[in-house]
Structure 1
Amino acid sequence: MTQSSNYSVERFGRELEPVVIIDHFSRDLERLVAVGRRARYAAAQGYPGIRSPLDPNYLSTQGALLTEILSAEFDLSCQIGIESCAFSIVTTPPEALAPSQRIPHYDGPEPNLIAIVQYVSQYAGGTAFYRHKRTGFESVNPARVAEYRAAIGDDDSAFGPPPEGYCYGDSRRYEMIGEIEAKPDRLILYRGRVLHSGVISAPPFADAPLDNGRLTVTAFLQG
């Protein structure tokens, strides 16, 4: 891990993609939790839960720090746009997950797509990062997309559908290469192309998600 006065950086596996960690990001966690619990949520396509849009200007409160990180750690000095920003709560029971939700995923192959996750609630469970065993890929760039998709099909043929439930740790398909612990008001940034999965260490609170669910802020920056 490397450390600056305002953030730290982890680099996992062989590809050493940066995962940047900022603690105490909002500096007003109690207010952020209150806003998140009052928000109006709806099911989100592809996400195992519900989401509510959040004003992207929320991130501008730490705009200078984010600009510094994007330049120093991701080599992005071009104009950066906020593609999306939302409160997110995992609510899908493990037995109801689609096969694609039971394995690590990547958000997009573009090198300038940066994913953000901010852990808001007290719910334990951070973010884990993976290597695909068949290909050795820890990230999926444009040149790897076709090969990776074919290899997922080969996995299905060899092993059958992914096991029921949220993935965590090593499996016949993937090796876990690193994990970021969730802490309230901790924010992490990483390239969307890296293989990752949320650590859902307890059944989602589908009955009362606004009161005790795994509340996060998720966002994407695009260069």
Structure 2
Amino acid sequence: MQAELDTAIQLNSRAAIEILQVGREQTPVVVIDDFALDIQAVIAHASQQTFTPPSEAAYPGVRAPLPRPYIFSLLDGVFKLIYQLYRVPAQLRMQPQNFVYSLVSQTPEQLSSRQRLPHYDSHYLYHFALMHYLNPGPHGGTAFYRHKPTGFETISQPRRVPYIAAVQAHMAGYGEPDNAYIHDSTDQFEQIGQVAYRPNRLLIYPGFLLHSGLIDTDSDIDSNPVTGRLTANLFIEFR
């Protein structure tokens, strides 16, 4: 219990904040370097957890719950920025969705066709993903994509059905994607930006933005929280 209590983080007043405008749609993506003064307690806490595969099939690895003090202190430091940058209506309130440590563990041969493509987390306008890179690198970062047949970079509610239909039609005509993690552009997706992995870097982006981890099969497929591509993933909505 004490180990969890010690995981509250102090925000670094000298953290470097960069706002990227991704793609033709100019979707804001927040990158904050040296986000916390110290993340060693969080990393130590992760090393003591039991990681298991998630109930949903989308994530190619294992996960464990994040400690509550860490969650509260992190969100307290960024929620005003999210409200302002993404113009979240003031009457909406932040609601938790999922808070987990994540480690990639599946080899390319184990991936489903869905896991070999970029994905979106939610079509809801005010759903956001926060990713805190924790362990020392080198590890792969995160990339963002445009779907070439439709031109979509974000999958909002009106785009969801035509996007899914276009992806299915492409696979019916050209076959399933290569049995590998996506990295660069393909015949169906164009990479429109990326953020490199760096310890203590916080990444914030809307859940409807097409994205994928840039998984390095030499360094990132590792279910050991001491050596793997350990990230803290927080998903929130404003309702």
TM-score (norm 1): 0.92
Q: Pick from 175, 182, 185 the counterpart of residue 200 of structure 2.
A: 185
Q: Could you tell me how far apart the structure 2 residues matched to 1:115 and 1:141 are?
A: 15
Cα pair 2:133 2:231 within 8 Å, conserved: yes
Q: Are 1:25 and 1:62, in contact at CA under 8 Å, matched by a contact in 2?
A: no
Matches within 5 A, 1:64-213: 64-76=76-88, 77=90, 78-123=92-137, 124-203=139-218, 204-206=220-222, 209-213=224-228
Match of 2:17 among 7, 14, 17: 7
Runs of 4 or more off by more than 6 Å in structure 1?
A: none
- Out of 42, 50, 59, which is 2:52 matched to? 42
Give the superposition deviation at 1:134: 0.4
Q: Distance in 2 between matches of 1:27 and 1:109?
A: 34
Q: What is the TM-score with the length of structure 2 in the denominator? A: 0.86
What is the percent sequence identity of the aligned residues? 32
Query: How far apart, in 2, do the equivalents of 1:160 and 1:168 lie?
Result: 18
The alpha carbon displacement at 1:63 in A equals 4.1
Unaligned runs of 5+ in 2: 1-13
Counterparts of 1:158 and 1:122, CA distance in 2: 42
Alpha-carbon RMSD: 1.7
Deviation of the 1:210 alpha carbon: 2.6
Unaligned runs of 5+ in 1: none
User: C-alpha distance in 2, partners of 1:56/1:102?
Assistant: 32
Q: Which moved more, 1:178-187 or 1:75-84?
A: 75-84
Distance 1:55 1:189 in 2: 19
Please state how far the C-alpha of 1:202 moved relative to its aligned partner.
2.6
Deviation, structure 1 residue 12: 1.2
